[in-house]
A and B are shown apart, each in its own frame.
Chain A
Amino acid sequence: MAQTGHAIQDRPESSHTPWRLLLGLLAEQKRGLIAGVIVGLGWAAAKVSIPRLIRNGIDRGIKGNEPLLKWSLIIGAVGVICGVFMALRRWYAFRESRRTEQHLRQRLFDHILRLHVGYHDHAQTGQLMSRASSDLQQLQAFVVMIPLTLSNLFQLVAILILLLTSDPLLALVALAPLPFVNVSARRFSTKIHPAVMAVQQRQAALATVVEETVSGVRVVKGFGAEAVQASKLDSEANRIRAVSLEAAKIRSRFLPAIDILPSIGLISVLALGGHRVLNGEMTVGQLIEFNSSVLLLIWPMRNIGMTLATGQRAAVALRRVQQVLSTTSAVVDPAEPQQLPRRADGMAVGAVRFRDVHFGYDAERPVLDGFDADIAAGSSVAIVGATGSGKSTVTRLLLRFYDVQSGAIQLDGMDLRELALRDVRHEIGVVFEDTLLFHDTVAANIAFADPDANQQRIEDAARLAGAHEFIEELPEGYTTLLGERGFSLSGGQRQRIAIARAILADPRVLVLDDATSAVDPSKEHEIREAMATVMRGRTTIVIAHRPGTIALADSVILLDGGRVAARGTHDQLLAENAAYREVLAALADADAVDVIEVPDAAELERRYINVPDDDAELSMHEPSGGV
């Protein structure tokens, strides 16, 4: 049970390839994929028959005596089959690939959401975002090609057989250049990818210059430094041009070659086949059949080449996704969770006990080093300490974001690790330093801990937190949208909503973690009133550095060197303890404002969705719409 809280349980790179994950995903989509492949094969078969039908139409209809209408109608009927099957193939291919993407994204999200906080401390949001967006797109781009690629392979084999049985030598000559189409398409795809990435990187560098100039415009204007920035931008713009022209060079090397390779086959057919017709060894219809067959195979060859390249990228993406999925949470429910003692009438609940707690985020540097504290049910305690003394760590351990390395934390006599995580977190309400509000209504933000809470409970919580009045004055009251793209509240208002959110579920313990730090000192008293109200009769742990807030608590614990250095009331310590006064003074100076910024949707899209779609370049030439 005594897990180390600090280690990221990153399983070493699993030995099985990421393809196993893919196979599992595809198995879920089995039916649709099989249907897609079947209609794809039907489409391919119909399409393959066209050159032969043209040949027969010419030889037997135009040159021979068979009715023309018959061949015309047969070709028309094949056209209907081709159209319908192609539509169905597209439908299945896209549906199954999008589903694969969707299911995996959901799995990733669910997994990430439940990974222990220690993992998130080290993982970058941006990277996790790319796992669930651009990496999955790479995968989708591959899965969507499956039915088409199998159809293409079928076409290739079928035409090969048809032509070889018809005229082996001419078949070889006609089709000889086509494998090079495949090879070139694949090489192009692999080569252009890094070039496109390089362009994107330079574009990002230019964006940095623009971003810096716009957000640092006061410095730029203040010093008349426009010319300096202009020359930075100039050189970045030149670099973009240079790398873009590099990419253009790769395109100019491959794309025209891919375009003309089939012509070599067509020329051979005309030269060799033409003379055969002259010698009476084959018919005009056959010549045209060969000609159309070469044309028909151009796309299958390109597609197969592209699919191979897409597959390589999908494999890399899939490995990254699997790395996240194979990480297990270090903080999990016990096998047999215990129940907290029931709340009986009149009995105070929420006694918290820290027993010789040792903890550090990495093994060498302990943050808590024998922390011992008893917090009686219904009482309030302020934890005070210098920056980095581990005050906030106490909160995180109490929420079981991490497990203690040794010692124990008890809630109403029960070790936290014996309780279900859900119970622990329901019974401990926190107001964080950075009040992250979600893009939702005020009511939903307050009812965060219990989405089923009715309006009455929401309003009660808001009233207690001193938020009801200003919420009523918002344009839409409790249904006003907050967060990104929503109504923006002042720091103090946000804090009061956060307090309401913390007490809605009537937790046994309330933790106010630096709840006033993000608030303008002149508005601090508003929060303080709200805090005083909600603390009454409830076990409360206050992490604070402003004297006014600290004074709200019944007693103060001074934290130093990871253990309790002194305990008493604020006034006592202020009068008697020099270290306490030092710490308070230092904290007052470090008073800083932190704001979490959530970029807007357009910015997110720019960052995570703009994966280079270089295969699109190839498929733009394609007849009848690619996949």
Chain B
Amino acid sequence: MRMMTAVAEEDRLDRDATKQVLRRSWQFARPFRRTIRVALLLVTIWTATTLAGPVLVSYGIDHGIAKDDGGVLNMAVAGYIAVTIAAYFIARLQFVYINRAGEGFLRDLRVRVFAHLQRQSLAFFDREKTGVLVSRMTADIESMAELIQWGLLQFVSAGLLVVMALALLFVLSWELTLLALVVFPIIVVASVKFQRESNAAYLQVRERVGVNLSALQEGISGVRVIQAFAREDEQSRRFRATNDSLMDGHMESVRVSMWYFALVEFCGIVAIAGMVGVGGWLVHRGSVSLGVVTAFVLLLGNLFEPVSQLSQLYNTVQSAGAALQKLYGILDTVPEVDEKKGAIDLPTRGELVVNDVAFEYVRGRSVLRDVTLTVGIGERLALVGPTGAGKSTLAKLMSRLYDPTSGSVAFGGVDLRDATLRSLRERVVVVPQEGFLFSGTIRDNLSIARPAATDDEITASLAAIGVLDHFLAFPMGLDTEVRERGSRLSAGERQLIALARAALVDPAVLVLDEATSNLDPGTEAEVEHAWESLMSHRTVIVVAHRLSTVRRADRIAVVDRGGLAELGSHDELVALGGKYAALSAAWERNQVASSPRRAT
């Protein structure tokens, strides 16, 4: 079975792009250049040893057997033994060197691309699809791993073999080489054609495999619906269609390859026939020796095979090139939110001032504009407004998850863009809507907020928001793996972890995005209590979805259609009789309707 690698036509690199990718890779491989040079040297020597065998046999025949000289024959044998032993060790070494360089290169690539990815702004992550980013770091790099593990070696040595075999044959006998060269172009042309056609066929197979798998997945995960509607026969019929088309795709690719491989086989044998005929005639004429003809018979394989290997590896190399280009593309993306040179630390306390801020995700499509407001030290500000009005965006700007398109956000008189990222994340902490868990223990999940925190500090921060006992009650305490328990860690508990993370940082400003969905009754009270403890003595900006949260805020900012519509306390805004008053009234009604317990 051959590797089935295909490269989409639009991904194929042109000459300039190839040059660029190569140059870039050579730069990137700086730490491994020595290893790569040694590996190349080893491949060259190894390739030479594969050619040495037939030459020695030919030498033994011409100078030993033909001249009745047993000593020369023994020398040829001894030489062959020496070359074989050398070939073995060189082959082992070249594996070691190529892999050391290749795996080191991939390691660096993984680490560098990931580090660069992490420097990108949140807006970047909003724009790019998770799946695409993950596949850059996985599938794209893995496709290169395959190449490095064995393909590269083959590619280089096949290329060298063609050149070296041709040179050697020419030295042995130019007449016979010319004869071989009659067949050679046929193989080259066929190989180029095969490479193109098989690539197209593989692309088609790959696409059909995807369709087939989707149908399979749809059938299995939708089995309840399918059975509920007694749709088994119809679904089976549809699956058969994708299955049949996949089969056709496979056969198409076999059709492409079968005659190509047959041709390679045929040419190899025909070249032998030619050697026996023409070579024999030349021997009769005395212009070449029998040993040379033998060498040609044995060496011709070394001329044709590499061409066929090159054509098969070509797609793999091309797709690796395409993958590299995409990865370098990520490395070239300039982070939108980055630390300035000479950035200063934020003061420990201060007002948060939003000054005439505007923001657009995409040029020309305004999300927020003309927003100006000041949040005092220790003040609690609730942001309310309909979905999509821009309140979450405003919260993100106030914590520099985005940078404003114009205007500024400052803390304690320092523009957030002039501050060090470290001090910014220490002063201003964002607690996201849902408690996202990373695999690892509860402790790991907490210390992500402050890796330097001691165990005591972690315990203290849990105690500060009153949830220490809750987590200590877990079977392994704070060392409980969250993923193993994952499904059992309730939404409320996840929220508690999110809050504890914030407590561990002990920031001056908290930016909270309140969860829209309700929590399990068991932890709701606890979460509410934790929230309150966390928020006391801090400046708080909360994107509010519940009336109770809004009620507890000092001031309320109503964000509507990308602008600040109303700003004031609950009573002021109700008295104003505007948007907030209407919203508040609607809320009251809804509370009563959907939750009788709260109403009573």
B1 near A144 with CB under 8 A, answer yes
Which residue of B137, B145, B219, B227 is within 8 Å of A207 (Cβ)? B137
Give the Cβ gap from B598 to chain A, nearest Cβ, in Å.
8
Give the Cβ gap from B50 to chain A, nearest Cβ, in Å.
9
Which residue of A75, A102, A449 is within 8 Å of B231 (Cβ)? A449
B451 within 8 A of A: yes
- Give every chain B residue within 8 A of A470 (Cβ-Cβ): none
Q: Give Cα A158–Cα B517 distance, bound, in whole angstroms.
A: 76
Most buried by A among B134, B150, B269: B269
Interface of chain B, main secondary structure: helix
Known A62-B280, A263-B84; 17 more pairs at CB < 8 Å: A62-B283, A62-B293, A90-B254, A215-B130, A224-B422, A245-B103, A278-B65, A295-B301, A401-B227, A584-B596, A586-B521, A590-B518, A606-B139, A610-B142, A616-B2, A620-B150, A623-B305
With contacts defined as CB atoms under 8 Å apart, how many contacts are there between chain A and chain B in the complex? 480
Most buried by B among A112, A267, A582, A625: A625
A113 within 8 A of B: yes
Q: Give Cα A451–Cα B133 distance, bound, in whole angstroms.
A: 39
Most buried by A among B210, B277, B281: B277
Give the Cβ gap from A506 to chain B, nearest Cβ, in Å.
13
A72 near B273 with CB under 8 A, answer yes
A206 with B77, Cβ < 8 A, contacts A54-B272, A598-B221 known: no
Beta-carbon nearest neighbor of A272 in chain B: B77
- Give every chain B residue within 8 A of A533 (Cβ-Cβ): none
Q: Scoring B residues 89 to 131 as 1 if CB is less than 8 Å from chain A, else 0, what string do you get?
A: 1011001100110011011001100110111001001000011
B430 within 8 A of A: yes
Q: Scoring B residues 439 to 460 as 1 if CB is less than 8 Å from chain A, else 0, what string do you get?
A: 1000000011111000000000
At the interface with chain B, which of A346-354, A404-412, A420-428?
A: A420-428
Pairs A-B, 3 closest by C-beta atoms: A72-B277, A601-B210, A79-B269
Beta-carbon nearest neighbor of B138 in chain A: A207
B439 near A212 with CB under 8 A, answer yes
Q: Scoring A residues 193 to 225 as 1 if CB is less than 8 Å from chain B, else 0, what string do you get?
A: 000000100010011101111111111111111
B277 near A68 with CB under 8 A, answer yes
- Give every chain B residue within 8 A of A91 (Cβ-Cβ): 254-255, 258
A613 with B99, Cβ < 8 A, contacts A87-B258, A501-B229, A591-B518 known: no
A84 with B262, Cβ < 8 A, contacts A216-B438, A598-B218 known: yes
A–B Cβ pairs within 8 angstroms, 15 of them: A128-B220, A129-B216, A129-B220, A203-B145, A214-B134, A223-B448, A223-B450, A241-B103, A248-B96, A260-B91, A267-B84, A274-B76, A602-B135, A619-B1, A620-B150
At the interface with chain B, which of A231-239, A312-320, A359-367?
A: A231-239
Give the Cβ gap from B284 to chain A, nearest Cβ, in Å.
7
- Give every chain B residue within 8 A of A31 (Cβ-Cβ): none
A35 within 8 A of B: no
Give the Cβ gap from B436 to chain A, nearest Cβ, in Å.
4
Beta-carbon nearest neighbor of A109 in chain B: B239
- Give every chain B residue within 8 A of A344 (Cβ-Cβ): none
A213 near B118 with CB under 8 A, answer yes
B149 within 8 A of A: yes
- Give every chain A residue within 8 A of B524 (Cβ-Cβ): 589
Which residue of A214, A586, A588, A627 is within 8 Å of B594 (Cβ)? A588
A80 with B266, Cβ < 8 A, contacts A94-B250, A114-B232, A222-B425 known: yes
A288 within 8 A of B: yes
B590 within 8 A of A: yes
Within 8 A of B (CB), among A36-90: 50, 54, 57-58, 61-63, 68-69, 71-76, 78-80, 82-84, 86-88, 90
Most buried by A among B56, B64, B283, B448: B448
A604 with B213, Cβ < 8 A, contacts A230-B111, A245-B100, A401-B224 known: yes
A275 within 8 A of B: yes
A274 near B88 with CB under 8 A, answer no
Q: Give Cα A581–Cα B283 distance, bound, in whole angstroms.
A: 107
B266 near A95 with CB under 8 A, answer no
Give the Cβ gap from B396 to chain A, nearest Cβ, in Å.
9
A625 near B425 with CB under 8 A, answer no
Within 8 A of B (CB), among A604-618: 604-606, 608-610, 613, 615-617
Q: Scoring B residues 589 to 600 as 1 if CB is less than 8 Å from chain A, else 0, what string do you get?
A: 010011111100
A83 with B218, Cβ < 8 A, contacts A62-B284, A245-B100, A600-B131 known: no
A203 near B95 with CB under 8 A, answer no
Chain B residues within 8 Å of chain A by Cβ, number: 163
Give the Cβ gap from A571 to chain B, nearest Cβ, in Å.
12
A448 within 8 A of B: yes
B149 near A248 with CB under 8 A, answer yes
At the interface with chain A, which of B32-40, B240-248, B344-352?
A: B240-248
Q: Give Cα A458–Cα B64 distance, bound, in whole angstroms.
A: 90
A69 near B111 with CB under 8 A, answer no
Q: Give Cα A218–Cα B80 distance, bound, in whole angstroms.
A: 65
B436 near A87 with CB under 8 A, answer no
Give the Cβ gap from B387 to chain A, nearest Cβ, in Å.
9
Beta-carbon nearest neighbor of B115 in chain A: A230
Give the Cβ gap from A324 to chain B, nearest Cβ, in Å.
11
A259 within 8 A of B: yes
Interface size bracket, A side: 35 or more
Which residue of A57, A219, A624 is within 8 Å of B268 (Cβ)? A624
B594 near A87 with CB under 8 A, answer no
- Give every chain B residue within 8 A of A162 (Cβ-Cβ): none
A626 near B95 with CB under 8 A, answer no
Give the Cβ gap from A262 to chain B, nearest Cβ, in Å.
10
A603 near B131 with CB under 8 A, answer yes
- Give every chain B residue within 8 A of A257 (Cβ-Cβ): 88
Give the Cβ gap from A39 to chain B, nearest Cβ, in Å.
11
B229 near A425 with CB under 8 A, answer yes
Beta-carbon nearest neighbor of A127 in chain B: B220
A244 near B99 with CB under 8 A, answer yes
A581 near B2 with CB under 8 A, answer no
B88 near A260 with CB under 8 A, answer yes
Which residue of A291, A422, A438, A621 is within 8 Å of B230 (Cβ)? A422
A237 near B110 with CB under 8 A, answer yes
Q: Scoring B residues 71 to 95 as 1 if CB is less than 8 Å from chain A, else 0, what string do you get?
A: 0011011001100100111011001
B247 near A99 with CB under 8 A, answer yes
Beta-carbon nearest neighbor of A133 in chain B: B213
A601 near B236 with CB under 8 A, answer no
A263 with B80, Cβ < 8 A, contacts A69-B277, A547-B593 known: yes
B290 within 8 A of A: yes
Give the Cβ gap from B489 to chain A, nearest Cβ, in Å.
14
B149 near A274 with CB under 8 A, answer no
Most buried by A among B213, B255, B421: B213
B476 within 8 A of A: no
A255 within 8 A of B: yes
A585 within 8 A of B: yes
B594 near A547 with CB under 8 A, answer yes
